[in-house]
Amino acid sequence: MRKLSVWFLLFCLIYPVSNAAAQGRGSSALKALRAGLTSNAGKVSRVAARDFFAHRVPLSETQFKTAEVIRKNLQAHGAMESLRTAEQYRASLNKFLAIKKNLDTFMLYQKLEPQLLSQAEINTRLADANQALEALGEMERIVGARDPGVHSGKLYMEQVMVALKPTYAGYFAKKKKKEEALPEKFRESDSFNLDHFLLKDPNGRSLTMKNTMPGSEGYANAQKMAAELPSMTIAVLNDDPEILEWARRWGAQGFFGRGSRVAVFKSLTDLMEKVKDVKYDVILMDYVLEDGISIFMIDHIRMAGDKATVIMVNSALMDDEVPAKELFEHGADGFVSSVGFRADNGGARIANALYNYMQQHGRDALTPHAKK
């Protein structure tokens, strides 16, 4: 009887401990199960919100350029154009900052008092996040992918998307530091040569000052230069339909090189979609377009490893007004002022530019993507 009492006493002492441990294991299992269900259901979990703040990208309004700075930087393109672009930037920045403020508040509540959210609520937050990404995209077209504010904003939005989709938890943490850093300049500044960039002829004469009207010596020389150009695949980007029609005519006349194929694009968006699939040997870009400033298209091209020869064309700037060094550092290869361009002389001016570029860098420089 005494032995039975001892065993009963031991049982009474041990059972609560083992039962508590079992309950603890069960509680942990339920928590893990609930977290898994929450994650798989696309809900924002406390873990995701906590991770968002633990690795949060520091981002403030002061990191972004102001609309006034944008306007001053674009004054060379005319008062109306610089004001229009600056106001586009201001509207996009304000939209992004307003959405970011709401997302920050939402994530803070999820960290402090997490709630299970319906899929409809999650979809609403994702829609907000996508609008913020669109606003950043509009700003990027104006200031470029290497702008500190835009770059940090994109990293911030990556974190938001990870938190809103917990099944991707850990994705952001696994990104390498070098991928988080701002892209470096594509060119070394000490290799910049102003005359080469402006594609002046061997005598140092600007293409804008050269007589290339039909019947002139300059026009005849341009025809000879065009005959020496290799066969290329060329893209022409301009938002003026008339100039695009001229470009087709110049290609047919052989000013882009015999056998060269010419494709024309009226917007940055159209060209950006096409260059994903087609590699052009030469891209002739208008500097200022209705849907953005094309130098920042070059950022995307160079970041993707594209080696196309990119030559900027603009009718508003004379040689001494061209921000040549900045364009060179963004990845542009040359600049042709189209002041005085006409349907009958523009092809000769372009042929001259392409020929001068070939003389400077070699024949293969004009055909980086052509099959050898």
Q: What is the CATH number of the domain that holds 330?
A: 3.40.50.2300
The arithmetic mean of pLDDT across residues 332-350, rounded, is 86
**Residues sharing a CB contact under 8 Å with residue 275, sequence separation 6 or more, in sequence order:** 235, 301, 304, 306, 308
Whether the predicted pLDDT of 116 surpasses 90: no
Asked if residue 116 and residue 225 are part of one domain, the reply reads: no
Asked if residue 133 and residue 65 are part of one domain, the reply reads: yes
Asked if residue 273 and residue 360 are part of one domain, the reply reads: yes
Whether the predicted pLDDT of 262 surpasses 90: yes
Nearest Cα neighbor of 286 from 237, 234, 229, 351 is 237
Asked if residue 149 and residue 48 are part of one domain, the reply reads: yes
The arithmetic mean of pLDDT across residues 124-148, rounded, is 87
> How do strand 282-286 and strand 309-314 relate by DSSP bridges?
parallel
- What is the percent of the chain with per-residue pLDDT over 90, rounded to a whole number? 24
pLDDT given at position 34: 41
Q: Is residue 233 part of a domain?
A: yes
Asked if residue 202 and residue 170 are part of one domain, the reply reads: no
Asked if residue 125 and residue 65 are part of one domain, the reply reads: yes
pLDDT given at position 106: 86
Q: Is residue 24 part of a domain?
A: no
Lowest mean pLDDT among 10-19, 149-158, 216-225, 351-360: 10-19
The arithmetic mean of pLDDT across residues 262-274, rounded, is 88
Among 75-79, 89-93, 164-168, name the most confident range: 89-93
Q: Is residue 317 part of a domain?
A: yes
CB 96 within 8 A of CB 134: no
Which range of residues forms the domain containing residue 326? 189-366
Q: Higher model confidence: residue 71 or residue 185?
A: 71
Within the chain, residue ranges assigned H as helices are 2-40, 46-54, 67-73, 79-112, 119-143, 148-164, 177-180, 194-197, 217-227, 241-252, 268-274, 295-303, 324-330, 346-361
pLDDT given at position 50: 75
Mean pLDDT of the chain: 78
Whether the predicted pLDDT of 249 surpasses 90: yes
Whether the predicted pLDDT of 37 surpasses 50: no
| Dihedral sign for Cα atoms in the order 157, 160, 165, 168 | positive
Per-residue confidence at 261, pLDDT binned at 50, 70, 90?
Answer: very high
Q: Is residue 85 part of a domain?
A: yes
Asked if residue 272 and residue 301 are part of one domain, the reply reads: yes
Asked if residue 213 and residue 362 are part of one domain, the reply reads: yes
Q: Higher model confidence: residue 135 or residue 214?
A: 135
Q: What is the pTM of this model?
A: 0.62
CB 147 within 8 A of CB 96: no
Give the gyration radius of the chain's Cα atoms: 30
Q: Is residue 12 part of a domain?
A: no
Q: How many domains does the chain have?
A: 2
Q: Is residue 8 part of a domain?
A: no
Asked if residue 342 and residue 213 are part of one domain, the reply reads: yes
User: What length is written for the chain?
Assistant: 372
Which residue do the tokens 């060094």 mark?
325
Residue-wise pLDDT tens digits, 301-319: 787 778 899 999 887 777 8
pLDDT given at position 140: 86
Asked if residue 209 and residue 153 are part of one domain, the reply reads: no
CB 216 within 8 A of CB 332: no
Structure tokens at 234: 């060329």
Per-residue confidence at 166, pLDDT binned at 50, 70, 90?
Answer: low
